[in-house]
Structure 1
Amino acid sequence: MSQLNQLFIWIFEQLKSVVELFVTDPGSQWGLAIVLFTILFNILMLPVNLTQIKSMKKQQAIQPELAKLQAKYKNDPQKMQEMQMKLYKDNNVSMFGGCLPLLITYPIFIAMFGVFRQLVAEGKLTGMGFTFLIPDLAANHNIILSVLSVLTMLLSTYISTMRTKVADNPAAASANRMQYAMAALFGWITYTSNSALGLYWITGNIFRIFQYLVINELEKKKEAQIIK
C-alpha cells in the first residue's frame, strides 16, 4: 500500500506543479490539484460506469421473466435459484454488474485516506486553505464538508436512478439502499478525517451528478428518436 500511496502522492505533486504555473496561492494549488486528480480519475472510470448502467438496464428487462420464475418455483428455493442463474446466463446479465464501480471507487477512497494522512503528516497540507469552505486542508471536523458529502452522494444516487424503475428491479433497489447507508457513513468519515479527503469525495460526487445528468439526457434523446 505504501508504494501505491507514493504513486498517488507523485501524481498530486505533478498536478500541483502544473497548477503553480497559473495560481500563486499554495493552498489553492493543493486544492486544485486534488480537484484535477479527482476529475481525471472519474473520467477514467467512465467506461466502468457505462457498463454499470447497461447492466442495470439488462436486469430491468428480465424482471418480468424473473417474477414468473419466482412465482412458479416459490416452494422450491433451490430450483428457483438454479433457474434464476440460467435466466441471467441466457441473457448475459451479471448479478454483480451494478456493484462494479463500488468495488473500484471505495478501495481508491481508502487509498486516498492514507495518501492525505501522509501528506498531512509531512506538513504539506497543514495551514493550506482552499476557498472559504476549507480554512485548512489538514484539519478535520469540517461540518460543512460533511453535510456536502452526504447531500452530493444522495443526489448522485437519486439522479442515477431517475430513469430506472427501482421498484421493479430488486438489484437496483438493493444497490440504492446500500448507497444511502454508505452516504451516512461517508459523511461521518468526512467529518472525522482531514478536509482534503472530503474535497476529494465531494468533487467525485459532483462529477458523477453531471455524468448521470448527461447520460439521462442522451437516453431521452435516443428514446425520442425511436418514437419518431
Structure 2
Amino acid sequence: MENRAVLAAVLMAALLILYQVLFVSSPAPPPPASAPEGVAKPVPTPEKTAPPPAVLPPARPLPRFAERTVAVDTPLYHAIVGSEGGRLLGWTLHYRGEKVLAERGQMGLSGLILERPGVGGAPVEFTITGGPVTLDGKAGEGTLVMTGEDAYGVRVRQTATFRADQYAVDLAVRLENGRREPQTLAVALPWVAPVKPGTPGAQWPAELVWQVDGTVHREPLDKAPVAEESPGDWAGLDSLYYLTALIPKSPGLALALGKVGEDRVEVGLRGAVTLGPGQVWEARAQLYAGPKEYRQLRAHGLEGAINFGGFPLPRRYGGLPMEWLGVPVLLVMNFFYRFIGNYGVAIILLTVVTKVLFYPLTVKSMTSMKKMQTIQPQANALRAKHKSDPQRAQRETLELYRREGVNPLGGCLPMVIQVPIFYALYIALSVSVELQNAGFICFGRAPDWLPFVGGADLWICDLAAQDPLYVLPILMGVTMFVQQKMQPTMGDPNQAKMMLIMPFVFTFMFLKLPAGLVLYWTVSNALQILQQRLMNRKPARVAGRGAKDVARV
C-alpha cells in the first residue's frame, strides 16, 4: 500500500509542476471553428448588412486642432484622455506600485471611430468639458462630456463616468444625423495592443479573452485571427494578473476582436447604424482596466477572465472546470487578509483550515498505513511460503487483510480524494493577483555592496515572485525530509532510497516557484509532521501480535 501512496504523491506533484510549466504560463486557445452547437462562433464582419444610402452626403472639411488632453485621478488609477475620439493616452494603476495598462503610441483605447462603407473611418474630434477629474475619497464620481461633429454632419456626444472605488468606466454614446439625407455608418470603440511586448515595465497582455453566452474563450495574441465580429458578453486583453475589457450594455453592440495587420491586435465593440434625417441613436458600454481581483471582476460579470484551469487536464482538453473550488480558496484567503492585513499569514491560516477539514481523511490514511506496516512481516512470510503458487499467496494475503481489518486501499484513497483539492489550492494561489508585490516578512532591499544578496529583497517582499534567498524552498525540503523519516519503515530498500531522494528533487523544482505557493507547501508539511507525531504516539491495535502471527504462519 505504501507503493500506491508514494505513487499518488509523486503523480500529484508532477501534475502540479507540469501544469505550471505547460499550461498556466501558456494561454489556452479558443474553440476551433467547428465549435459545439450552442456556442456562438466569430463570424466575418457584416460590413454590408446595412444598405448604403443612394448618395453619400458630401463631406465638409473640418479644421484640425492640436489634441487636448484631460487628466483623471482616482485612488485606484491615473488616466489621460485625449480629444481625438476620447482615446486613452495613459492608464496607470495604483496597485501594489505603479502598473501601466495604457501608454501613448503603444496600447490603449483608440477612441470613438465612425466608419462609412467605401470611405473608412476616423476618430471624432471632440471638445471635452468637465475636466480635469480628481476623486480623492472612497466614493464619488466624475464625468467627462465629449461633443463633436464629423465631416458628414453626424453630431456626436460621448460621456465617460469615472468612480473612485471602481476600475470600470461607464461610456454612453449618442449620435444625431444633422443632414436631410439618411446615413449608414458603423461605430467602433477598439482597444489596441501590440502582439509582442513593448516598453519594459508595462503590463503587456498575453491573450485575447472573450465570453459568449457564459462560455469563456481564449487565444494567444500571436495566434489571433484577422479581426472578426461576433455577438457576445464581453471581450478583453488579458495577462496573468491584469485585464482590459469592453462590455456592451446595449443590444446594438457586438464584439470585435483579432489581428489588425501583422503586429497589432484589437478588442472592442462595434455597431451598425442607419440614421434617418434628424434621427438619434444611443448605446451604452463599460470599460474595465484593472487587476483580476475576483471581487472587482464579479461586480462587472468578468469573473470568467480568471483562468482556474481544469482537472486533471486543461479545460481545452476536456478537464473538469475548477472554478467551483478555486473561487472559495480565493474568498477564504481574502477573508483572512481583511482582518490580518498580511497575505503570508492569510496563506498560513488557509493551510491550517485545509488541514483541519481533511483531518479525518488524513487520520484514516495514517492509521491504515500503520496497520499495513505492522502486518507486513506476515504478508512477506505468506509470499515466501507460497512462492511457487502466486494465486494462493494472493488469496492468503487478502484473507490476512480481512482478518486484521485492514483495507489495502485505505492509505491511498484518502490521499487521492485530496488531490483535486490541493490542485485547486495550487492553481488559485498561482493566479491570485492579490499576492503580487504583497509582502510576508519583508525588511526591504539589501544594499548593493553585500555579497551574494546585494540588491535582493530581504526577505519575502513579493509572494508572487520566487524567494530571492531560497530560504523557503530549503525549509520545504527539510520539512519534507523530516516527514518522510517519520513515516513507517518500508520493507523495500529501493522504495526507501527513492523516498529519501524526493525531498531534494522537490526542493530543486520549488526554487523558482512563487513564494506564496512554497509557503503553503512548507506550512502543510510542518502541520503534517505535527499530525504524524501525534499519530505515532498511538500504538497500532495489531502491534503486539506481529511476531506471534509470523511464527504461526
TM bin (shorter chain): 0.7 to 0.9
Task: State how far apart, in whole Å, the 2-side matches of 1:54 and 1:60 are.
Answer: 10
Give the letter aligned to residue 54 of structure 1: T
**Residue of structure 2 equivalent to 1:155:** 482
- Among 502, 505, 517, which residue is 1:197 paired with? 517
Rounded to whole Å, the distance in 2 between the matches of 1:51 and 1:71 is: 30
- TM-score of the superposed pair, with normalisation by structure 2: 0.34
Alignment-derived partner of residue 4 in structure 1: 325
Cα gap change, 1:61 to 1:114, in 2 (>3 Å): closer
Q: Which residue of 2 aligns with 1:23?
A: none
Render the CA deviation track for 1:134-174: whole Å, top value 9, x for unaligned: 22101026422221111111112223x3xx4x25x55x995
2:439 pairs with 1:129 = yes
Measure how far apart 1:197 and its partner are. 0.3
Pair member with larger Rg = 2
User: What code does the residue aligned with 2:407 have?
Assistant: S
Cα pair distance change 1:89/1:50, threshold 3 Å: same
Q: What is the CA distance between 1:81 and its match in structure 2?
A: 1.8
1:139 equivalent in alignment to 2:465: yes
- Indicate how the Cα distance of structure 1 residues 179 and 108 shifts in structure 2: closer, same or farther if over 3 A, else same: farther
Comparing 141-150 and 10-19, the one that deviates more? 141-150
Q: Give the Å deviation of 1:73.
A: 1.0
For these two proteins, the number of residue pairs brought into alignment is 203
CA displacement at 1:196 relative to structure 2: 0.5
Distance in 1, matches of 2:497 and 2:331, equals 36
Give the CA deviation at 1:177: 5.7
Deviations 1:32-53, CA, capped at 9 Å, x for gaps: 1100010111122222222123
Secondary structure class of the residue paired with 2:402: helix
Q: What letter is aligned with 2:401?
A: Y
Using CA pairs below 8 Å that are at least 6 residues apart, which structure has the higher relative contact order? 1
**TM-score in terms of structure 1 length:** 0.76
Tell me if 1:37 matches 2:350. yes
What's the CA shift for 1:90?
A: 2.7
Q: 1:217 deviation in Å?
A: 4.3
Provide structure 1 residue ranges, at least 5 long, that are not aligned to the other structure: 21-28, 224-228
Pairwise mapping of residues 59-74 of structure 1 onto structure 2 (< 5 A)? 59-74=372-387
Deviation (angstroms), 1:110: 2.3
What pairs up with 1:88-107 in 2 under 5 angstroms?
Answer: 88-107=401-420
Q: Once the 2 structures are TM-superposed, how far is the Cα of residue 74 of structure 1 from its aligned partner? A: 0.5
Distance in 1, Cα, partners of 2:417 & 2:460: 27
Matching residue's letter, 2:441? T
Q: Distance in 2 between matches of 1:156 and 1:128?
A: 29
* Coordinate RMSD, CA, aligned: 2.8
**1-side partners of 2:347 and 2:339: how far apart?**
12
* Partner of residue 75 from structure 1, selected from 388, 395, 403: 388
Partner of 1:110: 423
Distance in 2 (CA, whole Å) between partners of 1:209 and 1:59 is: 20
Cα deviations across residues 167-192 of structure 1 (Å, max 9, x unaligned)? Answer: 5x55x995x66654543443244223
2:529 aligns with 209
How far the C-alpha of 1:202 sits from its partner, in A, is 0.4
Query: In structure 1, what is the Cα distance between the partners aligned to 2:366 and 2:502?
Result: 20
Distance in 2 of aligned mates of 1:179 and 1:39: 25
CA contact 2:366–2:535 (8 Å) conserved in 1:
no
**By percentage of residues, which structure has more helix?**
1
Report the residue type matching 2:518 in the other structure: G
Summarize the Cα distance change of 1:7–1:98 in structure 2 as closer, same or farther, 3 Å threshold. Answer: same
Once the two structures are TM-superposed, the CA of residue 9 in structure 1 deviates from its matched residue by 0.7
- 1:218 is displaced (CA, Å) by 5.5
User: Compared with structure 1, are the counterparts of its residues 57 and 141 closer, same or farther at alpha carbon in structure 2 (3 Å cutoff)?
Assistant: closer
CA–CA distance in structure 2, aligned partners of residues 34 and 127 of structure 1? 15
Offset at 1:75?
1.3
- Residue 76 of structure 1 deviates from its aligned partner by 1.8
Shift in Å, 1:104: 4.2
Q: Any idea what the Cα deviations from partners look like across 1:98-118, whole Å, max 9, x if unmatched?
A: 234532454333222211221
Identity between Structure 1 and Structure 2 (%) = 30
Structure 1: how far apart are the matches of 2:483 and 2:371?
A: 21
Q: Residue by residue, what CA displacement relative to the aligned partner does 1:58-106 show, whole Å, maximum 9, x if unpaired? A: 2233234313311221012222123222221232212232234532454
In structure 2, distance between residues paired with 1:179 and 1:146: 18
Mapped pair 1:13 → 2:339 = no
Matches of 2:509 and 2:364, distance apart in 1: 28
